Amino acid sequence: MDQFIPPVKDMIFALREVVGKGDLNSNSGFEDFDRDFLETVYESASEITSEIIAPTNKDGDRLGVSIDDGKVTVPNGYAEAYDAYVDGGWSTLSCNPEYGGQGMPASISMPVNEMVMGANFSWAHLVLLTNSAIRAVDAHANDELKDLYLEKLISGKFSGTMNLTEPQAGSDLSVMNTVAEPNGDSYKITGQKIFITWGEHDLSENIIHLVLARLPDAPEGVKGISLFLVPKIRLNADGALAERNTLKAVSVEHKLGIHGCATCVMSFEEAEGFLIGEPNQGLACMFTMMNDARIGVACESVAIAERAYQQAVNYAKDRIQGRTQTSDSRVSIINHPDVRRMLLSMKSLIEVMRVLVYENTFECDLAESKPEHTKRADLLTPITKAWCSELCQDITSIALQVHGGMGYVEETGAAQHFRDARITTIYEGTTGIQANDLIGRKFISDNGSAVNDLLDQIETEVEDSDIESKIKAEVSQAIEQARNVSKFILENIQNDPNLAGSSSYSFLMMMGYLVGGWIAVRNITAAKNSLKETDDKEFYNAKIISSNFYIEQFMPLVRSFGSSAMQGSKSMMSMPDDQF
């Protein structure tokens, strides 16, 4: 029952036929990636993830990680999975070719990331956070640091971490205390960081910590934060491993989920570190990693949702219980309409979420050569992160529900996905932080123009599409609602300083479901086009059914979230604190 088979056909459909509109190759940077190439890469990735990584998932959760005197013990099978991943070159896909990477656009490698996360979510954090660290070093470090570290990070010899959070500084990094003292060419880093994912382990030869810290006399707040590269083991000038740096993991967290992931409290005591980028520009440098990591969390959300869904489908096909209106003999529960509702809810949401993740990544890829795509990429990022992670909660919960009482028993496995998923709306910026980013920086500061462009595009595409008029009407109503909400917020924001904060969540969720509706329409269009030239009718017909289902069942939520977003801040702000 506990198998995981990456849905390669769905991934290619989402990336090529929906996001690339059937012709991914016509975009600059994508010339080398035709369908045959993608199929070869993804099938090969699917093999290693389902056969080598996925089987480590359940034991990883059950056994978890432990720490003894700074040394972290990882679950069985993790080392073999890491070696197979690294030896297969999977860590290098979207990295800089100058340092051994394969230079693929991120959107081409995203399906591989999705597979790895679905296979073992805890384990995957190691290789995917290393990828984010690579991006930050590649974008901001000087050549000396790059020459010394980048190739080894890309090859997987070294792994990487992000060190932001401190006990008093979570969403608000302005109050962090870790300090960096100049010491010749390097710095002495001192402080304590918490929630450091894979902060310590022995799967790679070395661990490269990217650490936010304050220089002496740095300005207060976020304008006084710098980024440092702090290796677990120091390197000689020739790159050989030298002595151990003065940093260590002092504990690992006991968490609700991702038990197989070492979430460390890290202590730095005058550890040797090297400045990345300009002094006091650390947060900007870190944002290179953060935006990347935010879309990464959305991709994780798709991945866990997909795994939970697969498990629920298998259970629903196997479990015999009850009879239906139309059958006298006992049936497997997939025949019960309410169970089908649950399965189809999961399927239709996942299909839309997957396209959104790929689309957002594709816009980021395009923005590298065509800056006009930056605005769209930036607008989508908080929606993609928050909406997909929120839906991931619903989907893993539905998957558990399909199992009935067995879902509540840990051995079944559904509970693990539910527990693992719960982190996704929290880390890399909570849903509240994303909603704030969307309504503040991406909507109000921009006077609504990026949102308006998106709504215009959705309106035109839906209008021009060859879909049922009932569906067109549903989406059109949703667009109208979104326009009303946008207008309401922009008109009232001056008079109500708390309006943005109090309507941000509903605004984000409204935009999420609306963008989902747009994607559902595009899924239908793409499926219809593909139906003309394929024998695989069932696959594409199923896409049409599930996309219709999305619009029937989830588009009405655009109106309800929109309605909630237009209530103002009065009720929220007038409640006295002591009455909570």
Residues of span 488-527 touching its own copies by CB under 8 A:
497-498, 500-502, 504-506
Give yes or no for residue 344 binding its own copies (CB under 8 A): yes
Taking the complex as a whole, the smallest distance from the CB of residue 257 to its own copies amounts, in Å, to 7
Contact 310, 1 (CB under 8 A): no
| Residue 155 burial (CB count, 10 A) | 18
Give yes or no for residue 325 binding its own copies (CB under 8 A): yes
Taking the complex as a whole, the smallest distance from the CB of residue 176 to its own copies amounts, in Å, to 12
Q: Considering only residues 469, 494, 495, 571, which one is a binding residue for its own copies as defined by CB under 8 A?
A: 571
Q: Considering only residues 432, 452, 492, 528, which one is a binding residue for its own copies as defined by CB under 8 A?
A: 432
Q: Where are the alpha helices (DSSP H) in 30-99?
A: 35-48, 57-63, 78-87
Give yes or no for residue 564 binding its own copies (CB under 8 A): yes
Give yes or no for residue 188 binding its own copies (CB under 8 A): no
Our CB check for its own copies shows the closer of 296 and 562 to be: 562
What is d(CA 418, CA 80) in angstroms, rounded to the nearest whole number? 26
Taking the complex as a whole, the smallest distance from the CB of residue 89 to its own copies amounts, in Å, to 33
Our CB check for its own copies shows the closer of 242 and 409 to be: 409
351: annotated active-site residue: no
Q: At 208, list the tokens.
A: 């490269």
Give yes or no for residue 195 binding its own copies (CB under 8 A): yes
Contact 298, 512 (CB under 8 A): no
**Number of alpha carbons in the 13 Å side-chain half-sphere of residue 205:** 16
The alpha carbon of 302 is separated from its chain's Cα centroid by a whole number of angstroms, namely 8
Taking the complex as a whole, the smallest distance from the CB of residue 123 to its own copies amounts, in Å, to 18
296: closest CA among 228, 358, 241?
358
Give yes or no for residue 220 binding its own copies (CB under 8 A): no
Our CB check for its own copies shows the closer of 242 and 575 to be: 575
Our CB check for its own copies shows the closer of 37 and 408 to be: 408
Q: Considering only residues 28, 269, 408, 491, which one is a binding residue for its own copies as defined by CB under 8 A?
A: 408
455: closest CA among 434, 472, 478, 471?
478
| Residue 152 burial (CB count, 10 A) | 19
Q: Considering only residues 184, 216, 371, 405, which one is a binding residue for its own copies as defined by CB under 8 A?
A: 405
Residues of span 69-128 touching its own copies by CB under 8 A:
none
Taking the complex as a whole, the smallest distance from the CB of residue 348 to its own copies amounts, in Å, to 9
Pairing relation of β-strands 186-197 and 247-252? unpaired
Give yes or no for residue 330 binding its own copies (CB under 8 A): yes
Give yes or no for residue 291 binding its own copies (CB under 8 A): no
Our CB check for its own copies shows the closer of 238 and 579 to be: 579
Residue 166 is given by DSSP the state B
| Residue 3 burial (CB count, 10 A) | 12
Give yes or no for residue 181 binding its own copies (CB under 8 A): no
> Which range of residues in 129-137, 294-302, 312-320, 359-367 is near its own copies by CB under 8 A?
312-320
Give yes or no for residue 397 binding its own copies (CB under 8 A): yes
What is d(CA 503, CA 439) in angstroms, rounded to the nearest whole number? 9
Give yes or no for residue 256 binding its own copies (CB under 8 A): yes
Q: What are phi and psi of 220, to 5 degrees?
A: -65, 165
> Which range of residues in 107-115, 123-131, 331-339, 518-526 is near its own copies by CB under 8 A?
331-339
Q: Considering only residues 71, 223, 244, 317, which one is a binding residue for its own copies as defined by CB under 8 A?
A: 317
Q: At 344, list the tokens.
A: 């189809």
The SS3 assignment for 375 reads: helix
Q: Considering only residues 68, 220, 243, 338, which one is a binding residue for its own copies as defined by CB under 8 A?
A: 338
159: closest CA among 123, 122, 198?
198
> Which range of residues in 211-219, 276-284, 482-490, 566-574 is near its own copies by CB under 8 A?
566-574
C-alpha separations of 130 from 123, 270, 429 in Å: 12, 24, 18
The alpha carbon of 416 is separated from its chain's Cα centroid by a whole number of angstroms, namely 18
Contact 429, 339 (CB under 8 A): no
Site string for its own copies, 541-560 (x = CB under 8 A): xx--xx-xx--xx--xx-xx
Q: Considering only residues 401, 452, 476, 529, which one is a binding residue for its own copies as defined by CB under 8 A?
A: 401
Residues of span 147-166 touching its own copies by CB under 8 A:
165
Q: What are phi and psi of 539, to 5 degrees?
A: -60, -50
Longest dimension (CA), the chain: 83
The alpha carbon of 193 is separated from its chain's Cα centroid by a whole number of angstroms, namely 22
What is d(CA 431, CA 386) in angstroms, rounded to the nearest whole number? 5
Give yes or no for residue 579 binding its own copies (CB under 8 A): yes
Taking the complex as a whole, the smallest distance from the CB of residue 557 to its own copies amounts, in Å, to 5
Choosing from 17, 300, 428, 474, the catalytic residue is 428
Give yes or no for residue 217 binding its own copies (CB under 8 A): no
Taking the complex as a whole, the smallest distance from the CB of residue 424 to its own copies amounts, in Å, to 10
Q: Considering only residues 175, 219, 223, 468, which one is a binding residue for its own copies as defined by CB under 8 A?
A: 175
Taking the complex as a whole, the smallest distance from the CB of residue 435 to its own copies amounts, in Å, to 6
The footprint of its own copies on this chain (CB under 8 A) covers a number of residues equal to 96
189: closest CA among 263, 264, 266?
266
Taking the complex as a whole, the smallest distance from the CB of residue 288 to its own copies amounts, in Å, to 22
Residues 6+ apart with CB under 8 A from 32: none
Give yes or no for residue 1 binding its own copies (CB under 8 A): no
Q: At 520, list the tokens.
A: 């559902």
What is d(CA 15, CA 248) in angstroms, rounded to the nearest whole number? 41
Q: Considering only residues 77, 160, 199, 257, which one is a binding residue for its own copies as defined by CB under 8 A?
A: 257
Q: Considering only residues 410, 456, 466, 491, which one is a binding residue for its own copies as defined by CB under 8 A?
A: 410
Give yes or no for residue 197 binding its own copies (CB under 8 A): no
Residues of span 376-395 touching its own copies by CB under 8 A:
393
Our CB check for its own copies shows the closer of 365 and 474 to be: 474
**E strand intervals along 84-178:** 158-163
What is d(CA 447, CA 433) in angstroms, rounded to the nearest whole number? 20
Give yes or no for residue 532 binding its own copies (CB under 8 A): no
C-alpha separations of 542 from 69, 527, 531, 545, 549 in Å: 54, 9, 11, 5, 10
Taking the complex as a whole, the smallest distance from the CB of residue 242 to its own copies amounts, in Å, to 34
Contact 482, 564 (CB under 8 A): no
The residues with which 320 forms a beta bridge, in sequence order, are 332
Catalytic residue list: 428
